[in-house]
């Protein structure tokens, strides 16, 4: 019985507070989903494994005749979580971005298809950014937002997520702008512009 990163993702949630699996599933959709997407069925399966491993415990109560199981972390669970945090990251940030496939294979289709893909990226991320901004202002609004006391840590995450969203938006936007100018350009002009992009745009590297 070995724990996966998914297990620790759930275990960490239980460390924050006890949840029913239903609440947990909703919270995953609300938050972790942005950088650690998993199917609901996983969320329902994982706590049972944690209980089996002694890292969580389940308390059944009843609302009327409907059972409701609250999962909470055990001392052993806290210890396991702490130990996991001591281990090095198991996998570097991993991106899966179908739109970039569309981009590099765009010469085999119509340029309108490329534009459609870029619109798709922009629209989708704009929606996500709206939702995300809501979540974040929820968390920091005065009053007892659920995880106020972890603000110093969570703000690092929110900083990343907003920056990342902004990056996607900006990239889609400037790419669309670029593509829109192609019809008025000769193939040579287009090529020259492309090549010179990377004479200008050197990656700025910081000294360490």
Q: Which of residues 65-84 bind DNA (CB under 7 A)?
A: 65-69
> How far apart are alpha carbons 112 and 110 in whole angstroms?
5
> Could you give the C-alpha distances from 101 to 96, 104, 106, 117, 195, in angstroms and in order?
10, 5, 8, 10, 20
CB of 54 to a copy of itself, least distance (A): 17
CA–CA separation, 6 vs 8, rounded Å? 5
Query: Contacts from 107-111 at CB under 8 Å and sequence distance 24+?
Result: 111/179, 111/182
DSSP structural state of residue 75: H
79 binds, among DNA, a copy of itself, none (CB under 5 to 8 A by kind): none
How many residues lie near a copy of itself (CB under 8 A)? 97
3 binds a copy of itself (CB under 8 A): no
Under rule CB under 7 A, residue 37 binds DNA: yes
Residue 19 or 164: the one with the smaller Cβ distance to DNA is: 19
The partner in contact with residue 48, picked from DNA, a copy of itself, none with C-beta cut-offs of 5 to 8 angstroms by kind, is: DNA
Task: Using the minimum distance from each CB to a copy of itself, give the nearer residue, 23 or 126.
Answer: 126
Which one of a copy of itself, DNA, none interacts with residue 53, CB within 5 to 8 A by kind?
A: none
- Nearest Cα residue to 81 out of 176, 3, 167: 3
Q: Judge whether 9 and 42 are in contact, CB under 8 Å.
A: no
Per-residue x/- track, 71-100, a copy of itself (CB under 8 A): -------x--xx--xx-xxxxxxxxxxxxx
Where residue 63 falls (left for φ over 0; alpha for ψ -120 to 50; beta otherwise) is beta
Question: Residue 29 contacts by C-beta under 8 Å, 6 or more apart in sequence?
Answer: 40
Q: Work out which of 44, 97, 105, 150 binds DNA, going by CB under 7 A.
A: 44
Distance between terminal CA atoms of the chain?
41
Residue 131 interacts with a copy of itself (CB under 8 A): yes or no: no
Count of C-beta atoms within a 10 Å radius of residue 127: 10
CA atoms within 13 A on the CB side of 89: 4
Q: Work out whether 97 is an interface residue with DNA (CB under 7 A).
A: no
- 152 in contact with DNA (CB under 7 A): no
Partner from a copy of itself, DNA, none contacting 1, C-beta within 5 to 8 A by type: none
- By CB under 7 A, how many residues form the interface with DNA? 26
Q: Residue numbers of the site for DNA (CB under 7 A)?
A: 2, 4-6, 20-23, 25-26, 37-42, 44-45, 48, 63-69
């Amino acid at each position: 019985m070995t724990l996966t990163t998914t297990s620790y993702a759930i275990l960490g949630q239980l460390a924050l507070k006890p949840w029913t699996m239903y609440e947990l599933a909703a919270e995953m959709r609300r938050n972790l989903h942005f950088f650690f997407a998993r199917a609901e069925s996983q969320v329902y399966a994982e706590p049972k494994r944690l209980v089996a491993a002694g890292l969580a415990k389940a308390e059944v109560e009843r609302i009327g005749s409907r059972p409701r199981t609250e999962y909470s972390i055990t001392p052993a669970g806290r210890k396991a979580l702490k130990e996991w945090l001591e281990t090095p990251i198991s996998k570097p940030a991993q991106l899966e971005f179908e739109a970039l496939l569309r981009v590099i294979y765009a010469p085999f289709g119509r340029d309108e298809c490329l534009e459609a893909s870029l619109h798709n990226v922009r629209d989708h991320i704009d929606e996500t950014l709206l939702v995300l901004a809501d979540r974040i202002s929820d968390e920091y609004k005065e009053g007892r937002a659920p995880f106020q006391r972890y603000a110093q840590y969570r703000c690092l995450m929110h900083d990343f997520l907003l920056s990342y969203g902004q990056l996607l938006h900006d990239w889609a936007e400037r790419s669309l702008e670029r593509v829109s100018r192609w019809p008025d350009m000769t193939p040579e002009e287009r090529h020259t512009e492309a090549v010179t992009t990377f004479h200008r745009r050197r990656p700025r590297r910081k000294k360490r």
